[in-house]
Amino acid sequence: MAKTDVLSLAILGMLAEQPLHGYQIRKRLGGELGPFRALSYGSLYPCLKRMLGAGLIAADESEADAVRAGGSKRSRIAYRLTEAGQARLADELASSGASSWDDETFDVRFSLFGKTDSATRLRILEGRRTRLAERLEEVAEGLARMRDRHDAYTAELQRHGLERVEREVEWLDKLIENERSAPRGTDHHTASAGDNN
C-alpha cells in the first residue's frame, strides 16, 4: 500500500481546485500555509515526478511552439489530478489515523478541512489535542526535573516552549468546541474565484 507523504497531499489538495504549473503550486503553498512550509524547487519537481510515476497526476504540455532553429520552446506544464489522484485524495481526506495529527502533517491536513467531513475533522482535532497534551506533560516534567541545576536561559527557553504548546492546546479546544456546536458538512465551492497569478 503506497503511502502518501505530506507534500504530495498538499499538492493533491491544491490541484483538486484547478490545474496548476509547478511554479504556481510553489507560490500558492507559500502563501496559503504562511511563510511556514515554504516549498523549494528541490522538493517540488522530484515530488511531481514521483506523483507522475504513481499516476496520481497528469502533465498537460501547452504553449509548445514550433521548434525554432536550434531554439527551445518556452515549455509550460500544467498538472492536473487523474482519477487515481482524486481517489487517493478522497481516501486521504477520509482517513483520521495517528499520522493525521503529526507535527509535520497536521497543518496541511487542517488546511484541507473544507473538503473533509465533520466527523473526521473532529477526530483529527481531538487526536492532535491529545498528542499535544502528552507533550505538555513531558515538557513540564522535564522543566521541573531540571529545576535549578541548570542555565537560566535554557530554563526560560523551556518555559516559553511550554507556553507555546499550551496556547496550541487552547486553540484546539476552541476549534473542537466550534466543531461540536456547528458541524456543518464539507462545503465545496469556497475557493477560487478568478484569481490568476
Interacting residues toward DNA by CB under 7 A: 5-7, 21-24, 27, 37-43, 45-47, 49-50, 65, 68, 71-78, 197
The candidate with the shortest Cα–Cα distance to 4, out of 113, 129, 104, 78, is 104
Q: Which is nearer to DNA, 26 or 121 (CB)?
A: 26
Q: Taking a C-beta distance cutoff of 8 angstroms, is the pair 35, 51 a contact? A: no
Distance, in Å, from the CA atom of 82 to the CA atom of 91, rounded to the nearest integer, reads 14
Distance, in Å, from the CA atom of 186 to the CA atom of 115, rounded to the nearest integer, reads 5
From the list 3-11, 18-26, 83-91, 185-193, the region that binds its own copies by CB under 8 A is: 185-193
- As measured in angstroms, the least distance from the Cβ of 102 to DNA is 9
- Residue with C-alpha cell 507560490? 27
Instruction: Residue 188: name its binding partner from DNA, its own copies, none (Cβ under 5 to 8 Å by kind).
Output: none
- As measured in angstroms, the least distance from the Cβ of 18 to its own copies is 13
Tell me: does residue 94 bind its own copies (CB under 8 A). Answer: no
Residues in contact with its own copies, total (CB under 8 A)?
38
Angle between helices 22-32 and 41-54 (to 10 degrees): 120
Tell me: does residue 138 bind its own copies (CB under 8 A). Answer: yes
- As measured in angstroms, the least distance from the Cβ of 161 to DNA is 16
Cell triple for 154: 535554557
Tell me: does residue 166 bind its own copies (CB under 8 A). Answer: no
Q: What is the DSSP letter of 66?
A: P
- As measured in angstroms, the least distance from the Cβ of 38 to DNA is 6
- What is the identity of the amino acid at 119? A
Q: What's the Rg (C-alpha) of the chain?
A: 21
Q: Which is nearer to DNA, 35 or 185 (CB)?
A: 35
Interacting residue with its own copies among 150, 173, 180, 183 (CB under 8 A): 150
Distance, in Å, from the CA atom of 22 to the CA atom of 48, rounded to the nearest integer, reads 8
